[in-house]
Amino acid sequence: MKLILFRNSLFALLLIAPTFAFAQPWAALTPQQQQALAPLANEWGTLSEKQQKNFTGIAKRYPQLTPLQQQRLQERLVKWSKLSPEARKQAREKYKSFNQLPPEKREAIKQTLRERHAIKRQAAASAVAPATPIK
């Protein structure tokens, strides 16, 4: 009886063990990973192991990105690092629900967002007064 109880307890412990895995410390990252993930340095220790794996995967692809893509990634990581835990949770949920939409609906939403951004860029560009040459 005790052996069965012990075996069942051990099995249950093995099932939940991955949730108790220790996250990787910031110092264990390579210098290249630290450079790519620099905006997350202060909160790296608070991220779950799964989140850290996702970000280290991003860091692995970082050197292959164009300079513009690297800059965009850095800007997005800065924005992400400034979000509250609740705002991050909402962003993840929104992302999950977006990915569950049919592809044509997702593309329509993306196109709408592209148009909005283009309008904002045009408005910002026209707000800057053109330089007049000095005679």
Whole-structure pTM value? 0.60
CB-based contact 61:32 (threshold 8 Å): no
- Residue 12 above 60 pLDDT? no
Q: How confident is the model at residue 115 (pLDDT cuts 50, 70, 90)?
A: very high
Q: Which of 84, 86, 88 is nearest to 55 (CA)?
A: 88
CA–CA separation, 46 vs 52, rounded Å? 9
CB-based contact 43:81 (threshold 8 Å): yes
**What's the average model confidence in pLDDT over 84-97?**
93
Largest CA distance in the chain: 99
CA–CA separation, 56 vs 53, rounded Å? 5
Per the listing, tokens 């850095």 go with 74
